Amino acid sequence: MLLIGQLNYATTLKYNFPNIAVASALKELQIPQRFTELSLASMRSAEGRFLQIQPEEVPTPIIEGNNWREEPIPVKISSVSAHLTPLKPIPDETPIIAVDVSSVRLGDTDVGVLCAVRGAIVWSTKRRYGYLRIGPFPFHITEENIREVINLLRFYRFVPSESSSLRLEDVQVRLCNLVERWLQMSVCSSSYGSVILWDGSLTAGTVDNPLTVLRGILEEARNRLNTVLAFSKVTSIRVLGRRITDLVLKYPPPCLFRLDGPPPSTSLRLLGNVYIARLAGGFSAFRLDVDKGVQEEEGIRALQRLLGNDVLYQGYPETLRLAHILSTFTASEVIGIQRFVAQRYDLRIVVRPSVRKTLFGPFGTRFED
């Protein structure tokens, strides 16, 4: 496979996606019927209505990994080098599998919000890549059908049992999180002896990220000898006022920096050991969470298998980068989905006037709504 790496993404990289053995189980992946039925039923409620869009403003996709709260970790260290672990690649043909999910708001109707959710699974064996896209699933969320959505989320423990209300704006994020956990569980239960990559952290305990759900997925992964590694592209962890990712850039890659600190006193739970990983040359280092349920040596060995069996561009795994690209909605895809649902459900697309621009002209910002 020929891989051309570049910082300028004006042109699209080319990949070969062959059918490989590790994909056999993933190809049988099925989203629960109750979810797809809810998607179809919700879209029927949009039939014949007006779809209000603002074409001058490209919808911003919501990426799941950006939705989880990062756990504040108290860090007390005397020397950065004392916590560094050099890494050596282990090229043993271990399968590498990555999962990512995103959602996008397509527009508004007179009674609700129209959004779509899509996920992607990418796997690598002998540095040959395969992928599976799931979705997009469109949803028309209204005050009339939000009760059905809440019941679905409560059934999968994404809404507390005592909760009876949910804002329309929050439904898109919850559905995105739900699809991602489904895909992660499917990958963990259908693969064996693999390194599984997630976007985000292994922090749980929020309403959007139930503790029992994440614990169950990680346990299923361990039962099948899989190791889960979660990469965060941005971290707020600081040492002496500086971002920890900046401090490790002066050390030669690949290396791993361990973070030690007392457990936080909040309702959040860290289900992973937290590191800062600098895996390749360049100016990038990432927060890395490794499942606490595996021994520390085994977690480090899994990271070394990642180094030996996947391409790392700017220190970021290629499988996870591709999963992000394949799940994210581009501007042209958003236009295509809007066009499709308009034809399929007899929606009439209208341009919604921007009150912000009418009032403030060039001084208005999109964050004032």
Whether residue 200 contacts residue 71, with contact meaning beta carbons closer than 8 Å, is answered with no
Q: What is the mean pLDDT of the chain?
A: 79
- Overall average pLDDT of the 233-259 stretch: 78
Residue 61 pLDDT grade (very low, low, confident, very high; cuts 50, 70, 90): low
Dihedral sign, Cα of residue 215, residue 135, residue 208, residue 246:
positive
pLDDT of residue 59: 53
**Torsional class of 332: left (φ above 0), alpha (ψ -120 to 50), beta (otherwise):** alpha
Report d(CA 281, CA 60) in Å as an integer.
Answer: 30
CA diameter of the chain? 65
Does residue 136 have a cis peptide bond before it, meaning omega lies within 30 degrees of 0?
A: yes
Per-residue pLDDT at 7 exceeds 50: no
Amino acid occupying residue 63: I
- Please state, for a pLDDT cut of 90, what percent of the chain lies above it: 35
Report d(CA 17, CA 20) in Å as an integer.
Answer: 9
pLDDT of residue 364: 63
* CA 71 to chain centroid: 17
Q: Which pTM value belongs to this model?
A: 0.83
> 146-201 pLDDT, tens per residue?
888 888 888 777 766 555 567 777 888 889 988 999 999 999 988 999 999 999 88
What distances in angstroms separate CA 234 from CA 118, 174, 244, 287, one per listed residue? 22, 21, 11, 7
Does residue 138 have a cis peptide bond before it, meaning omega lies within 30 degrees of 0?
A: no
What are the DSSP calls for 190-251, one per residue? H--S-EEEEES--EE-SSSS-HHHHHHHHHHHHHTT-EEEEEES----EETTEEHHHHGGGS
- Overall average pLDDT of the 224-252 stretch: 81
**Which residue in the block uniquely carries the two structure tokens 């699209």?**
12
Report d(CA 99, CA 288) in Å as an integer.
Answer: 15
* Structural tokens at position 173: 């994020």
**Ramachandran angles phi, psi of 322, nearest 5°:** -65, -40
* CB-based contacts of 268, cutoff 8 Å, min separation 6: 69, 71, 203, 204, 205, 206
Whether residue 245 contacts residue 235, with contact meaning beta carbons closer than 8 Å, is answered with yes
> 93-149 pLDDT, tens per residue?
899 999 999 999 998 888 889 999 999 999 998 878 999 999 899 999 998 888 888
**Ramachandran angles phi, psi of 261, nearest 5°:** 180, 160
Whether residue 195 contacts residue 306, with contact meaning beta carbons closer than 8 Å, is answered with yes
